[in-house]
Chains A and B, each alone.
Chain A
Amino acid sequence: MYNVQVYVTYKDSVLDPQGQAVQGALQRLGFEGISQMRIGKFFEMQVTGADQGAVIDKVEAICDQLLANPNMEQYRYDLQLVEGAK
């Protein structure tokens, strides 16, 4: 079994008004040197399977079909094998 974390953000070409609003607030707080603020979604799940390649295929299918909208979003993910689980 794998612990999986998926991160979904808008594509770089897509304006992220929420991210811009937060970046503006950070500037008003006095933090300097902050740029490219993006707000996204975080998903965490456990995926059963011993074969990492098969788990990756499943995670990518899940992302493409539901978690992200490939028209406007991009995603990345991290996997950790859970020792002792199948």
Chain B
Amino acid sequence: MKFAVLVFPGSNCDADLYHAIVDVCHEEAAYVSYTATSLAGFDAVLIPGGFSYGDYLRSGAIAKLAPIMTAVVAFAKAGKPVLGICNGFQILTEAGLLPGALLPNRQTHFICETVALQVENSDTRFTNQYVKGATIALPIAHGEGNYYCDPETLAQLHANHQIAFTYATDVNGSLDNIAGITNEAGNVLGMMPHPERAVEALLGSADGLGVFQSILKSGVATHGE
């Protein structure tokens, strides 16, 4: 598969994503600038963490208006996989590709630590290499990771099995400890934890590798290769 790694002004996890795909998974990846207008030739889109546009106004609010986002919306609507991590998750909610919003952490400060997560749904194209209910360890590093949505949306997330990951404990005030959700169609995932920072034992955990292996597995199945 060929992965597009988007780069916005202020992205800072783009190189980690590229490393995870190219050096660890031995797949193809290319950086795609926020000024680009096409995603032709790519099989999956990765939106990295960072501080796009300095987080001015709201995290992800200005990035959603970047030229590349029109192509990302079309890519998602076509049913192709889009993964947003941290600021990427914030951008996906601001762009309306995922429901809800990310509020400032309840404790009002930036949190940087490795946390325990529960795999709530192992039947998505981003989590099929995990065991449902498994506990994994991934790093988080965010100031605005407190997931919020209205009660009707929360009920829909549960009913449609759109909650992919939850925090094992309440780390930032997120509703129902939500750490990652998919869209209703299941081809867009946003998550605050950083799987790309946990792809080798050297990094302290390789538990994040499953996210990328899941995309590869479902991509192969989709394309019948």
Contacts and interface: CB of A to CB of B under 8 A. Distances in A.
Contact of B100 (A10, A15, A67, A71): A71
B61 A71 contact: no
- Measured as residues with beta carbon below 8 angstroms from the partner, the interface class of chain B is 10 to 19
**A13, A14, A18, A72 interface centre (most CB from chain B within 10 Å):** A72
Nearest to A43: B57
Nearest to A10: B103
B108 A18 contact: yes
A21 B105 CA distance: 13
A69 B101 contact: yes
Contact of B148 (A21, A66, A67, A72): A72
Nearest to B153: A71
B5 to A, nearest CB: 26
A17 interface: yes
Contacts of B94: 69
Nearest to B102: A72
B118 interface: no
Given A14-B103, A17-B107, A18-B108, A66 B61 contact: yes
A21 B108 contact: yes
* Chain B, interface SS category: loop
B106 interface: yes
B10 interface: no
Nearest to B149: A71
B58 interface: yes
Interface string A15-47: 101100100000000000000000001000000
Interface string A63-79: 00011010110000000
Contacts of B173: 15, 17
Contact of A66 (B57, B99, B100, B107): B57
B61 A72 contact: no
Contact of A72 (B103, B106, B108): B103
B104 A17 contact: yes
20 contacts: A10-B103, A14-B148, A15-B106, A17-B104, A17-B106, A17-B107, A17-B108, A18-B108, A21-B108, A66-B57, A66-B61, A67-B57, A69-B58, A69-B94, A69-B101, A71-B99, A71-B100, A71-B101, A72-B101, A72-B103
B87 interface: no
B93 interface: yes
Contact of A71 (B57, B93, B105, B106): B93
Contacts of B93: 71
